[in-house]
Structure 1
Amino acid sequence: ESKTGNYQNTSPLNYDCAMTQIICLANSWKHGDRCIAGINSLKGQWIRPVSSLPDGRIPKEMRLIGRTEPAILDVLEIPLAKTGQDFGFECENLSVLPGEWRRVGKVPPAYLNKYCSKEEYILHNDQRYVTVSFLQSLPMVQRRTLQLVKAVAFSVRSTGQRFEGGEKWEGSIVTDNGQRLTATITDPVFIRRLELGHRPQSPCLVTVSLSMPWRPPDWEGDDPCWKLIAAVVELPEAAKSTVERETDDELPF
């Protein structure tokens, strides 16, 4: 095995102009299929591959690599167009083109530190949702719907049964700059670990994404897109000493 950049390379790189490389930072539930997203390390930009389905979700036959799911931290090469359906409010979407997806390497968790957000808020505000009208009021490049944050505190709780089976889980995080968020967890691998009794260790890196618009019963106001915990990357012991912890008195839960 050789090393390319800061990640371990396990197969030859393909320089086909249609292939786009991302570090996978989300493989989360989306209407029975998955939402895949990651960061292009060359540009430091988020990319969300989208299909031609009405909500852009990625079906199994499109995303599987050697009959296995793309995993968080995998370096993927995906045939993508230069543009994609933005559904009126998302700036990260690129359409998936015909062709096989490839897994070409994997990054260590610490490699992601440089991509952690330094923004004042987790996705635009301190609420659990962002309205479509607010996103549409921004220039296209500012319509962010994906963000990586460093959580120095993280608790979870079960909130009932999922329609597809298994439990629903909600996470509450406090970031390294004091932002707080409680949101539904949509990372299937992490949820499976929770169901087996695992509990998150702080600190960790969390991918937060916005859902498609969904109005709860009796909702008043503009269409909301809900913040979701789409992926959780727990940092190894060696990385934990570099993160300042907050005291229990400062936690919101």
Structure 2
Amino acid sequence: MRLKGMTQLNVKIVLLTKSRKYNNYCIAGVDFHTGKWIRLVSSQADIHCAVPGVDLTYENGLQAEIFDIIEVELAKAVPQHFQPENYEYDSRYYWKKTGVSSLEKVKILVNQNADSFIFHNSDKRLLGSFVSGLSASKNYSLKFIFVTRATLVVEKYEKLKYKLSFIYNGVSYTDFSITDDAFIKPYQSEGSFVLNNIGLVISLGEIFNVDQCHYKLVASVIR
């Protein structure tokens, strides 16, 4: 049975990502009061602590969406060296929607690492050994940016692949994979598409065993 109430462990978050992770969801946002990043994770190790759809469903049956301001009951902080922002939520409690934010408000609210790059370099990935050696002050895995122009490339392999390239802070970034299913849904054929004036949430993923790297993923495209 899921509970309706909240206790002193609840937090109010502006939801900024609702992306694909092991056939469930990667959910993250910023604290409504401090702008600090919080990634919500479940206790389900079999799906790599992704968030099942049932858990991000409100009591009225609707699902949480980008820009929703939500109250969530936290169980504990569960930081990992590559994702220090992780908090396990208490799945016994419903999430509660208390309002809706906007891109302009988020641009003002978000409080993040001052790194001039996206995760320390201009590449699309970081070596696992580099990430594990970072000090606490330099270790982060979520970043919000605003770009005036980006290029989406859709290519067909076994299935459609979606890559985003853009310039941020005068640095060119190419071929970032997109895990935002709601954004890519309209793009069901190969091609190149120009996007103007968009917000992006970039997330650092789990280590990829083939090359022992963490890849930078576009977790949310916000228009």
TM-score with structure 2 setting the length = 0.85
Q: Alignment length, in residue pairs?
A: 211
**Which structure is higher in strand share?**
2
Structure 1: distance between partners of 2:172 and 2:131: 21
Runs of at least 5 residues in structure 1 that lack an aligned partner in the other structure: 1-13, 235-253
Once the two structures are TM-superposed, the CA of residue 15 in structure 1 deviates from its matched residue by 6.8
Q: Which moved more, 1:188-197 or 1:59-68?
A: 188-197
Q: In angstroms, what is the RMSD of aligned CA positions?
A: 2.4
Structure 2 counterpart of 1:89, from 57, 82, 104: 82
Once the two structures are TM-superposed, the CA of residue 140 in structure 1 deviates from its matched residue by 3.0
TM-score with structure 1 setting the length = 0.75
Q: Which residue of 1 aligns with 2:55?
A: 62
Structure 2: distance between partners of 1:148 and 1:138: 20
8 Å CA contact 2:6–2:73 kept in 1: the answer is: no
Structure 2 counterpart of 1:228, from 210, 217, 220: 217
Moved over 6 A (4+): none
Structure 1: distance between partners of 2:157 and 2:70: 32
8 Å CA contact 1:91–1:142 kept in 2: the answer is: no
Q: Which moved more, 1:177-186 or 1:108-117?
A: 108-117
Once the two structures are TM-superposed, the CA of residue 194 in structure 1 deviates from its matched residue by 2.8
Structure 2 counterpart of 1:74, from 39, 61, 68: 68
The amino acid across from 2:208 in the alignment is W
Once the two structures are TM-superposed, the CA of residue 190 in structure 1 deviates from its matched residue by 0.5
Structure 2 counterpart of 1:180, from 128, 152, 172: 172
Once the two structures are TM-superposed, the CA of residue 72 in structure 1 deviates from its matched residue by 1.2
The amino acid across from 1:53 in the alignment is Q
Is residue 112 of structure 1 aligned with residue 106 of structure 2? Answer: yes
Once the two structures are TM-superposed, the CA of residue 60 in structure 1 deviates from its matched residue by 1.3
Change (3 A) 1:67 1:142: farther
Runs of at least 5 residues in structure 2 that lack an aligned partner in the other structure: none
